[in-house]
Amino acid sequence: MEHQKVNGRKQTAEKILKDLSLLEKASLLSQIVWETTEIHHMHGELDKFLLADGPAGIRRLKEYFDKDIYNTKPSTCYPSPGTYASSWNRELLFELGQHMGREARQEEVDTVLAPAVNIKRNPLGGRNFEYYSEDPYLTGELATEFIKGIQREGIGACLKHFAANNQETRRMNICAEIDEETLHEVYLTAFEKPVREGCPRMVMAAYNQVNGEYCASNPMLFGILRKKWGYEGVVVTDCYAAHDLEKGLRHGLTLQMPGESGARIGERVLELVNAGQITEAELDAAVLRNIEMALEAKANRVQGYEYDREKHHAFARRIAEESMVLLKNDGRLLPLKKEEHILVTGELAVNPRFQGGGSSHVNPWKLEIPLEELKKLGTHVGYLQGYRIGGSRAENEMLHQEVLDAAGGYDKIVVFAGIPELIESEGYDRSSIQLPQEQNDLITMLTEQGQRVAVVLANGSVIEMPWREQVPAILESYLGGEAGGSAAAAILFGKVNPSGKLAETFPICLEDNPSHLYFPGNTSTVVYGEGRFVGYKYYDALHKPVAFPFGHGLSYTEFEYQKADTLVDKERLQVRLMLRNSGSQEGKETVQVYVQRKVHQESIYPKKLAGFKKVCLKPGEEQEICIPLDARTFMHYRTDCQEWNMGNGTYEFLVGSSMQDIRLEERVIIGEVPYQISEDSTIGDMIRVPGMYEKLEEAFKNHPVSLEFLRMTRDEDPLKAISMGSLMTLRTLKRTDGTLLDSDIEEIVRWINGQNN
């Protein structure tokens, strides 16, 4: 039935396209602020379709041409993407998409500009709160479910920002210089599954350049997005990011947001077509996609629809509860007991930080205050301000002293701390990852006084915690949305068992981050010099200590991991284990599987997340867990043939509660996968593959110089072996060995690849 609808819309779109003049076609390439052009034609009226921001809720302007981006209609403010990614819950993300889709329908929004799947490359990234993770696999898994959920409701999703939009500094002109291997394995992988399986109605091209080409006119739009991944939908620019309409149309761009007026763009398109710089067929391909989207939007509209605001608020609370991360709980300081005397301190307890700044900003229809929610659950909850954000040193010292003087009369102190919204926003990057000094001072003084302190953090992304060793309990609430107050209170008092896991690594200090020396680049270029060793992959490879590792998150209960008959099922590519809740409270655990390829027992490839599953178990309950593994995790992108390849070698499977808390492990040799060579393959790389030395020896038997270079790789002198043998490529041998012709090299490549199949 759905296939018939799609075919019907396509046929209607083709009829409409045939009736349009060149100027009318051109007008459909340009968006007017938040809506597209509507056209009257012989088949009826082609409606405009409406867009709105929406990573954390529907940001529908009261007036669509209002320049004040904060003058929006009230809607549910959900936790930020950087928060709900810590839920590690695919089903929850699908439900979130559905809830946001219903709200979009009420506001007559056809497409929501979300999700944003750019990688958290550096902790200073101004929009890190809007991005999911430092890991592309986790990002792709969660974003795919969000897209499926929102589009199940008939509302389009817009996947953004394609690609490598990992900083705000000079974002409109900066050129990200990324090697092909890293680009594919890290930054494009986050987009691939959402495109292939989520099938978003729109993909947004980023502001920045990648390797010398602006994203809105980058050959990647056609070569990767459309050709390799098969994307058929609309490709839209970020705001005012259409730098080269001609190149953009040729590479797959279909819509400028917002664009030029109909008359102006019409003149430009006429000039381009008449000059032969674009063909009318290229123009038609872009316009047809926009028409199809307009028809689909109209078909899915429901007049007079209203969603249940209270139910959506309750769902926002559930997301926050599942996403907050208990980083530390020494001596089981938490949960708090109802009868305990609790002192709450910190301005953020009464003036909460619950969302990020910029285009994701939502006007919440209802906002919970953490202190009020805590007082509902505890019988003896007091409050002192403790600090004032932006206050003078003298004022904050006075507020500190009030807390220190009163603290002795309480059983426990709960400090609400975090980053002010002004520091974390779209449009600029952070200058540090430190909390304001008045907050650090207050926490430090309380611990030095011997108080039992729990810190509740409100921040969009990574922060430094110089007091982390002294504080017994830390709850990372991130940006919890409008219902974050009751969610934090429920976790603090044990009404909800925390189950969030970090989707990013918390380094000890900013300087430890792998991209620190490269970020944010110079006036025109930022080099991604850390390569594919982003986030936990870097810290693990260097055995570098961190404050809190990727995947970390504590619970009020305990979980035991045991092997099933076989941990790794090679045939089905899955991991099987027994998981038992050995504690006294129902809880959720996210079982994580990491894979690392070993070559000659050396770990030259980073450890990678390959699968995960969130499971809820009652006390004493045991369950067999099967976790399908992502086949792409076993592959590496080969630049010589521009394809993904599963290398030979032993694979180490590591199963645990975080990247560092590994409970089970097993080494497995995955079935041999054909190793493909090219003219640019080195002898050193090739002979690492079992049996390849003998094949090359056979291939070179009539070429003595090449044979000698091959044999040098086994020379006892390591310097000679490396410099004279291992580094030689087939292409280099052709220039060195007078007996080798182009046809000989081509035949050798064909013969060896045929042997390997």
Tell me: the pLDDT tens digits for 600-614? 545 567 899 999 999
Angstrom distances, CA of residue 173 to CA of 176, 212, 358, 521? 10, 10, 19, 12
Residues 6+ apart with CB under 8 A from 252: 221, 222, 225, 226, 235, 286
Which pLDDT score, from 0 to 100, does residue 47 have?
82
pLDDT of 186 over the 90 cut: yes
Instruction: Express each pLDDT in 473-486 by its tens digit.
Output: 999 999 999 999 99
Tens of pLDDT, residues 446-494? 999 999 999 999 999 999 999 999 999 999 999 999 999 999 999 999 9
Lookup: tokens for 415:
């400090």
Q: What confidence tier does 101 reach under pLDDT thresholds 50, 70, 90?
A: very high
Q: According to the model, what pLDDT value does residue 382 have?
A: 98
Three-state SS at 160: strand
**Interval 170-189 mean pLDDT:** 97
Q: Which of 152, 129, 153, 132 is nearest to 141 (CA)?
A: 132
- Is pLDDT at 529 greater than 70 in this prediction? yes
Three-state secondary structure call for residue 4:
helix
The answer for 722, left when phi > 0, alpha when psi is -120 to 50, beta otherwise, is alpha
659 by DSSP, 3-state: which?
A: coil
Q: Please check the confidence at residue 38 and state whether its pLDDT lies above 70.
A: yes
Residues 455, 505, 76, 240: is their CA dihedral positive or negative?
A: positive
pLDDT tens, position by position, 340-388: 999 999 999 999 999 999 989 999 999 999 999 999 999 999 999 999 9
Residue 383 has a pLDDT of 99
Q: How far is residue 487's CA from residue 644's CA, in Å, rounded to a whole number?
A: 43
Predicted confidence band of residue 73 (pLDDT cuts 50, 70, 90): very high
Q: What is the pTM of this model?
A: 0.89
- Between 569 and 297, the more confident residue is 297
Cα within 13 Å of Cα(564), Cβ side: 17
Amino acid 511 reads: E
- All structural domains of the chain, each given as residue ranges with its CATH number in brackets, are 2-299 (3.20.20.300), 317-541 (3.40.50.1700), 559-669 (2.60.40.10), 683-756 (no CATH)
Q: What 3-state DSSP class applies to 516?
A: coil
Question: Which pLDDT score, from 0 to 100, does residue 709 have?
Answer: 83
Predicted confidence (pLDDT) at residue 672 exceeds the cutoff of 60: no
Mean pLDDT of 21-25: 88
What percentage of residues in the chain have a pLDDT greater than 70? 93
Tell me the C-alpha distance between 248 and 631, whole Å. Answer: 33
Q: What is the mean pLDDT of residues 656-661?
A: 98
How far lies 444's CA from each of 435, 452, 470, in Å?
12, 12, 8
More confident residue, 62 or 93: 93
Q: Stretch 222-240: mean pLDDT, rounded?
A: 96
Pair of tokens at residue 112: 């929501």
Q: Is 580 exposed, middle or buried (0-12, 13-18, 19+ CB in 10 A)?
A: middle
| Average pLDDT score over residue span 492-512 | 99
What average pLDDT does range 269-287 have in this prediction? Answer: 91
Beta strands in 535-658 (DSSP E): 559-569, 574-581, 587-598, 608-617, 622-628, 635-638, 643-646, 650-656
Q: Which of 70-84, 396-410, 711-725 has the lowest mean pLDDT?
A: 711-725
The answer to whether the beta carbons of residues 159 and 117 sit under 8 Å apart is: yes
Residue 487 burial (10 A CB sphere; 0-12, 13-18, 19+): buried
Provide the pLDDT for residue 564: 76
Place of tokens 């520091």: 423
> Which is higher by pLDDT, 744 or 660?
660
Least confident of 57-71, 439-453, 509-523, 634-648: 57-71
pLDDT at residue 43 above 60? no
Give residue 23's pLDDT.
Answer: 86
Both tokens assigned to 18: 């045939």
Tokens of 379: 């019988």
Q: What is the per-residue pLDDT for 4?
A: 57
Residue 34: its pLDDT value, please? Answer: 74
Quick: pLDDT tens for 696-748. Answer: 888 888 898 888 888 887 765 665 555 566 788 888 888 888 888 888 888 88
The predicted structure's pLDDT at residue 602: 52
Helices (H) and strands (E) in the chain, counts: 23, 28
Q: What is the pLDDT of residue 651?
A: 87
**Edge-to-edge strand list for the sheet holding 574-581:** 559-569, 574-581, 622-628
pLDDT tens by residue, 531-587: 999 999 999 999 999 999 999 999 999 999 998 777 777 677 899 999 999 999 999
User: Which DSSP symbol is given to 647?
Assistant: -
Active site residues: 238
Which residues, 6 or more positions from 712, have their beta carbon under 8 angstroms from its beta carbon?
720, 721, 724, 725
Q: For 515, left (φ over 0), alpha (ψ -120 to 50), or beta?
A: alpha
| The pLDDT of residue 633 | 82
Pair 465, 448: CB distance under 8 Å: no
Query: Residue 260: its pLDDT value, please?
Result: 67
Please report the beta strands in 302-362, taking only residues with DSSP state E, as ranges in sequence order.
325-329, 341-345
